[in-house]
Amino acid sequence: MEQKTKKPILVTWDFSEKSGYALEHAVNVAKHLNTNVTLIHIVKKDQEIDAAQVKMDVLANETSKKYNVKIDTVVPVGTIFTTISEVATDIHAEMVIMGTHGMKGMQKLIGSWALKVIAGSKVPFIVVQGAPSSHGFEKIVFPIDFRSENKEKINWIYYIARLYNSTFYIMKDKVTDKKFRKGVNSNLIFTEKFLRSNEIPYEIHTSPGKKDFTHETIDFAHEINADLLLIMTTKNITAADYIMGANEQVIISNKFEIPVMCINPRPGKLAGGFSAGGG
């Protein structure tokens, strides 16, 4: 019998509709993994902990009974930009699932908050805007460009594919620059070899090249009714990215409300030229 994993799914909770969607996604993943869910609600002062904890305990009890999944809670003092990642590391979370709003007008700032929360995390994030589909993460769009990224993303391909019997839809960036094209093709060969050797079903599609790669990736994901977008974040995100909108921010806040799994590159040896980015 397979040993039960001890790593919980961490869910950010702010009593909003979006955090409710995140919890629903987390419950689904937790059932697949046969693990628990931990809800995190961050407060600003010590004096706020007790009242918040009472509300969280009620929520955990109701949710546990409704879905038959063990729900734990944590109410730390801190800030969303550091405390979520710190707690995720401390409890050895499998992943963090977070609800967020789309990026429209002034709501662009909310999208930048999501990116800032994710940046630097050692644990992958799944960012959601809506309720989960009935069939899990079966169709996953995997954009590939010319950038060098960590092998960890490949490991997550295997992880999700085995969990949901997923099919991966590789979206290849159409580039004209000879050097960049060489990088894209090298990364594609690396990815294909991995998928074939692990018998993971996949398709390869090339972006039309009429718009930027980020928006064409989102449009493609919508066209095939994708359940998840799997991206790497930029290694060095600047303040300007938060203000102007990094490619990852655009994908996270996509207007079709497709969930996005974000993996941060870690320092260390890179994977033989492999790259898979969000644009």
Identify the helix (H) or strand (E) that includes residue 154.
helix 152-164
Residue 272 has a pLDDT of: 35
CA distance 159 to 147: 22
Residue 279 lies in a domain: no
Closest CA to 186 of 100, 93, 271, 90: 271
143 and 95 housed in the same domain: no
pLDDT at residue 270 greater than cutoff 90:
no
pLDDT at residue 233 greater than cutoff 70:
yes
CATH number, domain of 242, equals: 3.40.50.620
Residue 145 has a pLDDT of: 80
Residue 85 lies in a domain: yes
The residue behind tokens 């944590």 is: 74
The answer to whether residues 2 and 22 touch, using CB atoms and an 8 Å cutoff, is no
Q: Residue 195: which domain range?
A: 139-263
Residue 41 has a pLDDT of: 97
Residue 152 lies in a domain: yes
Structure tokens at 119: 């940046």
Residue 50 lies in a domain: yes
Residue 158 lies in a domain: yes
Choose one of 51, 73, 99: the last residue of a domain. 99
Residue 103 has a pLDDT of: 47
183 and 254 housed in the same domain: yes
Number of domains forming the structure of the chain: 2
Residues 6+ apart with CB under 8 A from 226: 139, 140, 141, 169, 220, 258
Residue 83 lies in a domain: yes
90 and 168 housed in the same domain: no
Among 77-81, 93-97, 231-235, whose mean pLDDT is lowest? Answer: 231-235
Residue 224 lies in a domain: yes
What does the DSSP 8-state code read for residue 106? G
Structure tokens at 201: 């079903």
Strands 71-74 and 260-263, how do they pair?
A: unpaired
Residue 54 lies in a domain: yes
Confidence tier at 139 by pLDDT (50, 70, 90)? very high
